[in-house]
A and B are shown apart, each in its own frame.
Chain A
Amino acid sequence: GQQLNQSPQSMFIQEGEDVSMNCTSSSIFNTWLWYKQDPGEGPVLLIALYKAGELTSNGRLTAQFGITRKDSFLNISASIPSDVGIYFCAGQEMNRDDKIIFGKGTRLHILP
Chain B
Amino acid sequence: GAVVSQHPSWVICKSGTSVKIECRSLDFQATTMFWYRQFPKQSLMLMATSNEGSKATYEQGVEKDKFLINHASLTLSTLTVTSAHPEDSSFYICSAKRGVGGSPATQYFGPGTRLLVL
Q: Which residues of A approach B to under 8 Å, CB–CB?
A: 31, 33, 35, 40-45, 48, 50, 88, 90, 92, 97-105
Contact = CB atoms under 8 A, between A and B. Distances in A.
A45 B42 CA distance: 18
Interface string B93-118: 10101000101110111111010000
Interface of B: 4, 6, 32, 34, 42-46, 49, 93, 95, 97, 101, 103-105, 107-112, 114
Contacts, number: 56
Contact of B43 (A33, A50, A92, A104): A104
A12 to B, nearest CB: 16
Contact of B109 (A44, A97, A101, A105): A44
Find the residue from B101, B104, B111 having the highest chain A CB count within 10 A.
B104
A103 B111 contact: no
A49 to B, nearest CB: 9
Contacts of B109: 35, 42-44
B111 A42 contact: yes
Contacts of A99: 46, 49, 104
A31 B114 contact: no
A99 B32 CA distance: 11
Contacts of A35: 109
Given A98-B49, A99-B49, 19 more contacts: A31-B104, A35-B109, A42-B95, A43-B44, A43-B109, A44-B109, A45-B105, A48-B105, A92-B103, A97-B101, A98-B97, A99-B104, A100-B46, A100-B104, A101-B46, A102-B44, A102-B45, A104-B42, A105-B43
Nearest to A97: B101
Given A31-B105, A100-B107, A42 B46 contact: no
A48 B95 CA distance: 16
Contact of A42 (B32, B97, B112): B112
A1 to B, nearest CB: 8
A105 B45 CA distance: 12
Contacts of A42: 4, 6, 93, 95, 109-112
B43 A103 contact: yes
Contacts of B104: 31, 33, 90, 92, 97-100
